[in-house]
Amino acid sequence: MKEKLINFIADRYGWDENEMLSVESFEELGLDSLSLYSLVTDTEDEFNVKFDTNDLTLIDSPKKFIEYVIGCIENADN
């Protein structure tokens, strides 16, 4: 599931997967808050997860985003 999510994000923005995972923030990749919101809603639809809006301020990098989504998927399976 993690690889599918990484591919989904990288393909959506045309990012290199290794570069995407090596940066410390979405800003380094040129992603603004509106684009991040779009990524959130598209990810919710694609992976059938729901983000807690309070958590969004803590998700400032691709790594954290991926960890958060994987956590949502794992919690939904339990």
Model pLDDT for residues 31-60, shown as the tens digit of each residue: 998 999 999 999 999 999 999 989 988 999
Residues 39-77: b if buried by 16+ CB within 10 A, e if exposed? bbeebeeebebebeeeeeeebebbeebbebbeebeeeee
Report the 10 Å Cβ neighbour count for 5: 19
What is the span of the domain harbouring residue 47?
A: 2-77
Domain count, the chain: 1
What band does 76 get if pLDDT is binned at 50, 70 and 90? confident
pTM value? Answer: 0.90
- What percent of the chain clears pLDDT 90, i.e. is strictly above it? 82
CATH number, domain of 39, equals 1.10.1200.10
Q: Are 75 and 10 in contact (CB under 8 A)?
A: no
